[in-house]
Structure 1
Amino acid sequence: MFNQWESEWVQYITPEGEITPTGEKVWDEKSTEEKLRFYRWMTFIRLFDRKMVVLQRQGRIGTYAPLEGQEAAQVGSALALKQEDWVFPSYRDHGVAMIVGMPLTQIILYWAGRVEGCKPPEGVRIMPPAVPIATQIPHAVGAAWGSKLRKENSVAVAYFGDGATSEGDFHEACNFAGVFQLPAILFCQNNGYAISVPFTRQSASKTVAQKASAYNFPGICVDGNDVLAVFEVMKQAVERARQGEGPTLIEAVTYRKGAHTTADDATRYRPFDEVEEWINKRDPLIRYITLLKNEGLLTEQEERDWEENAKQKIEQAVKEAEAIPPKPSTHLFAHVYAKLPPALEKQKEELLKKEGTYHA
């Protein structure tokens, strides 16, 4: 799967953990600290993701959307952004969220169904995860338009999956971004499936990236499991946007190792051989660790030390999230209507009466 695209995509690190001829200059220009930063973030995000799956299975959070396998796409793209940029994530972009400044505790609270998990700290320009498919893409383009009208230097990024490209919101956003040449990045993590529907059943286009040509702006296909290539492609797209050269559609070809969410059974629609190939031969973290070790930049002990450090931080965030007192049951009726409609007002009264706290 995806093999037909490999002659057309940007790739700097092979699945075997070797630098390609086109990637040598890019790799050599990176400092040791930059190279290790990619590794540290990918490892941290993977360990966080696995912890969240455990919490869901224990009933400590609600349904969760795992991202394991997509770490390189999220780390490479998010590290190319600046603090003034706007981020509009989907429900699988927890890695992006933590890189741009969303505290771990709040990410956990979001998946526990708490509204606190939707509000970023002051100065962190990230919207709440969008669960409806593709609705965040026009929002991002609107933010980019506002930035252009105000003559600001910020870029707006919409993160979405391949399934979102089947929605009208995607095409409307592309059309608007192209017409007004907006500083927007449309970042598609094509993991091959819109829940259970394979990409070949969603689109007759060979790639997502080629769809950009209809809207007269660049579309780039990149190996989404190659963190170095993703970073460089994203960096170039961001620079174009800042210079007033308009939007870019980036297709990061990747794969989610697990199910669509913890409420899904991916074994019912994904071929076993395909899953085995991506897990055993194309893992983004394994290929990058292989490269670092071959270059003498990472030892087994350093790897163990960083994993232990990451696990401690994650456990601390879980403790902090679970120590926050629960909201009253009436919180179910908050944050939707300025004035509750009669039916919901009646339900709220019935709840209060049941709890013995109703006052006429």
Structure 2
Amino acid sequence: MSTLKRTPLFDSYAKYGGKTIDFGGWELPVQFSSIGLEHEAVRTKAGLFDVSHMGEVDVRGENALAYLQRVTTNDVSKLAAGQAQYSVLCYPDGGTVDDLLVYKYADDHYLLVINAGNIDKDYAWLSEHLIEGVTIENISPQTAQLAIQGPAAEGILQKLTDTDLSQIGVFRFQSDVLVDGVPALVSRTGYTGEDGFELYLAADQAVKLWDTLLAVGAEDGLVPCGLGARDTLRFEAKLPLYGQELSQTITPIEAGIGFAVKVDKEVPFIGQEVLKAQKENGAPRKLVGIEMIDRGIPRTHYPVYVGEELIGEVTTGTQSPTLKKNVGLALIKSEHAAVGTTLEVEIRGKRLKAEVVAAPFYKRPKN
């Protein structure tokens, strides 16, 4: 018997050719056809992901705003009902507890979406900092999440709902959408660098909607996608992955997501002093894009050198399916972070030349 956690869609994976792996204690599909084909489908047509392993925390109460202002780095007071916001939970030293999405239903009701491997840790952290007039509930077990991503995503999803999806802007959502009769929160968000939607629904409805979406979207090129393509897609778009670009020892400023850190908001948040100093004076390390000059693929944790000095390490690297180049993200000392700087990456005991390049490696073309 597997001790790995499974999403409500686990039994559906085999039907579509899914090959599963252990991902942070979850048995999840790494691919259905191939990572390359699934990656290309999302960039050119559409892909469907099971992201039901992600965590959801319901936040309610008259002091919900004050509470979220204290525990998250972004300015929740700027959200209107029906808006979502990317944010970060930080430790007092500025290290990252997790990155997350904050959805605002109403002044006294929010939804937090957190990373699967961090659910227990995050919930404990949120509970530890709870204030009077706020209740939180981990609703992850009863919640499924599907992500339909790619240029054809809106057209495919529109076939299954009377809600005008063109009216849901980026980082906006509607919580009362019927998708093929299934009630869902539909959010114009994603983790691929493409347009698309994330759908939150009751766990017992996930299999039905997954099958229906794939059937309806087949003529438009929709394919089921696994974690492999999700990782290459988010990597090309320089979207951080907790445990690689973000961690307890990496601040959001170092990771290049300072836009989600509002150091001057009225309610001070946990870690604010450290992050404000990093914003004003520069962080000691910086996340940069690198491209290999010598032949070799940079992989997570490979050491990075300038001369004999160890200046950091690769956080993520691969052969980019879109660019067909060997590229990576590396967290290195800031003084070596200028575009054009020549570095060396140690790959299997050999130091191979690389160059700091502009990132993200991929930006979605404007319509």
Instruction: Give the structure-2-normalised TM-score.
Output: 0.25
Whose relative contact order is higher, 1 or 2, with alpha carbons under 8 Å and at least 6 apart? Answer: 1
Instruction: Give the structure-1-normalised TM-score.
Output: 0.26
Larger relative strand fraction: 2
